[in-house]
Structure 1
């Protein structure tokens, strides 16, 4: 097949996207496909012309555009098949506050949170507000996890251990013109569960490396910076419960093809943090590890994703 591989873009996750695309391109070519590379930063509006003569589009975008569903909407308009979720599921999963509200509505445990819109960071004249103390209130006690509401790869995420550190951490993100999610920090073990098709893959238990208080950017993408154990050494009932939650979240958000749900296991109870619709595909990424434990090497994982995408189309 002629496959258009889309990677790069202009989000702060650009380098992760490009890194993953290198391995994807090699794998696709090894399987006999013709691969055409496209970086939306070079001109997203040229996509309709480029996609005209391809059989399939493989997306390896992180952040926006890509995880926000914009590219998927364009491809739907052209009738082009691609792997993964459509526009609606993509934006629902990317928006952490909205997805958490849907989790709560459907009885899926998730840590308490507060949403802080970007507009709170500026006054009526568009000037930055220097003191937001009166604007931001949090009904739960520290520690807090402060993060951009739209985004991934743990970029911009900050752990705040004292209440007086909350406003400065929030302001830092608001000054970038971004909405903020303040989440209650639950100490525990991080676990991730990928969904492929209609099946939950083996869990991965994550222990961040020395000096990291959570699974941050370096822990995710630098080899040896985290201990990732797959299958996770958890009791069978706990593993099955987390897999069930991941599948439930996948369906609640209207996702298709694949996804990866991230959890914190706190005092024996799993709480769902977020769901990713375009999981990382680098050499150290979690989805390929889970697929390998399930019996799928990288080539067969990509083949399966293409098969599911064609079936949806």
Structure 2
């Protein structure tokens, strides 16, 4: 952090990924909170000229509020390392690993964490026959916010017809039934567990629209399941090599007890919007939104 009386923070937002609008919302909220916390703030809608913009601006710290490809997958992180600008959230390797769902699952398995069966397959293969026994989920291997997710039900007549926007290689994953749970980790320590209620699949609309879902925090679940979520999220954070704030998502089939708790994925740059989950958990821990943003900035680095 700079020795300036008022450190200058550049907030990266927007970008060109499928999650641009979510990122703009996150970025605006974080910029406003950082001003409340006493920082000088410049908002940047990240484009192809980002390196030139940052060189001209010369901020002390970069708050990365980008979501999706380029901003969350190690690309921008590598640029910031090259420019020697301390930045928030996870580094190059952790960001790239977490964005690749299949590779991150391999890291979870190595750490002894519970995941469901999955494989990568070509779109043509997925559209020709059932790659896994239904029910299963088809989704991009490197996107977030439930972008491009298809659920193939057990009663499906045949394989799905996929969106043209999906990449040529997708992930096919066994469907994990049950309740949606999530746990944020801040600087290596778990915050809380949230139970997420929505009408049907917890999709893009449910995540970001006002009233799209209902969050119960702390989750009304058995103590054993709460403890397991906190433990698994902390271990997932460490297994991927995250820093700052992360959020790990779970499905829990309560009919199976602890055996029904499945780790779905980890998000190295959780949403920071009015309906986002990690800020809610921080608030329950007594951490206001401006304080949360300040803590994230103070953890910024370009060396780890």
Q: When the two structures are superposed, what TM-score results if normalisation uses the length of structure 2?
A: 0.90
Alignment of 1:1-313 (within 5 A): 1-41=7-47, 43-50=49-56, 53-116=58-121, 120-121=122-123, 133=128, 138=131, 140-161=132-153, 162=155, 164-169=157-162, 172=163, 176-209=166-199, 212=200, 214-266=201-253, 267-268=256-257, 269-309=260-300
What is the root-mean-square deviation in Å for CA atoms of aligned residues? 2.1
Distance 1:131 1:294 in 2: 44
Count of residue pairs brought into register by the alignment:
293
What SS is found at the alignment partner of 1:114?
strand
Q: Deviations over 1:252-283 (max 9, x none)?
A: 11111121000000232211100000000000
Q: Deviations over 1:158-202 (max 9, x none)?
A: 111145543423xx35x6434311111121001000000121011
CA 45–184 in structure 1, closer or farther in 2 if over 3 Å, else same: same
Distance 2:54 2:149 in 1: 35
Contact 2:135 2:151 in 1 (8 A): yes
Mark the runs of 5 or more structure 2 residues left unpaired by the alignment: 1-6
Q: When the two structures are superposed, what TM-score results if normalisation uses the length of structure 1?
A: 0.88
Distance 2:144 2:95 in 1: 13
Moved more, 272-281 or 104-113: 104-113
CA 49–164 in structure 1, closer or farther in 2 if over 3 Å, else same: farther
Mark the runs of 5 or more structure 1 residues left unpaired by the alignment: 122-128
2:3 aligns with none
